[in-house]
Structure 1
Amino acid sequence: MAELVECSDDFRVERAHLAVSVGSGDVEVLSTPSLLAFVESVASRCLSGAVSPGYTTVGTYVELRHKAPAPQGATVKVTVRVENFDGKRARLSFRAECCGRLVGEGVHERVVVNKDDFLRRAGVR
């Protein structure tokens, strides 16, 4: 899995990502739910090449420390490191940086599921 060791992406903080817009607070800075969505986006893409066709990964656990604000218009860089992946379960660490400071960090876990079976169990298909 050497090719999956670390993945990153940049996200621009838009109005829709602000705490006041998502209902997680009344301030105009990056919301914690939006930060988590950025993390899950990078983590999902980072693992996508490691699962068989018809399978995907879904988030099952997160520990997130939101340490500093990021204003609208800023760019947040999210870096995810695959700490362990046994083919069924992945444990990842992450960091989010913006404006020269650490915005957030934590741990995220994902599991591999058969996409059709998962959606069927969820009542989507």
Structure 2
Amino acid sequence: MPDTRLTKEYAVTQELLASRMGSGALPVLATPAVSAFFENAAMELAAGFLADGETTVGSKITVEHLAPTAPGCAVTVTAELLEHEKRIFRFRLEARDNAGVIATGTHERVSVKSDRFLQKADQRKSAVAE
């Protein structure tokens, strides 16, 4: 059985700062970057449960960003799979820097067949909104 917990480490680079990403004015780790860290760890964890030609896409995420993190710091993210029901994966998430917890959250991913999902995206490109 695949693992149900994954921990990854990320570096807080200049590109990941709120002032650089446009999500805030200060040079601290941006909330959208924390969300991306969370999604990346959960995606990698879910991959162990998938068949060839499948991937997961994010469908829901909640993030509580609790503390600022300066550039140059390392952030450790843990994703824990709480539930896997048919195509749905649900995770508990936590991010820490050297001083402690900086963010927590929950995340839901849905498994899809890669080819069919990309076809749907292409179809939407040429669709006319009503």
TM-score normalised to structure 1 length: 0.95
Query: Which residue number in structure 2 is paired with residue 72 of structure 1?
Result: 71
Structure 2: 5+ residue stretches without partners: 124-130
Query: Which residue number in structure 2 is paired with residue 111 of structure 1?
Result: 110
Structure 1: 5+ residue stretches without partners: none
CA root-mean-square deviation: 1.4
Q: 1:5 Cα shift?
A: 1.5
- 1:74, 1:22 → 2: CA distance? 17
Residues 52-67 of structure 1: pairs in structure 2 closer than 5 A? 52-67=51-66
Query: Which residue number in structure 2 is paired with residue 29 of structure 1?
Result: 28
- 1:27, 1:123 → 2: CA distance? 38
Query: Which residue number in structure 1 is paired with residue 120 of structure 2?
Result: 121
Runs of 4+ that moved beyond 3 A: none
- 2:17, 2:86 → 1: CA distance? 35
Asked which structure has the greater CA Rg, the reply is: 2
Read off the aligned partner of 2:36 and give its amino acid letter. A
| Number of aligned residues | 124
Query: Which residue number in structure 2 is paired with residue 14 of structure 1?
Result: 13
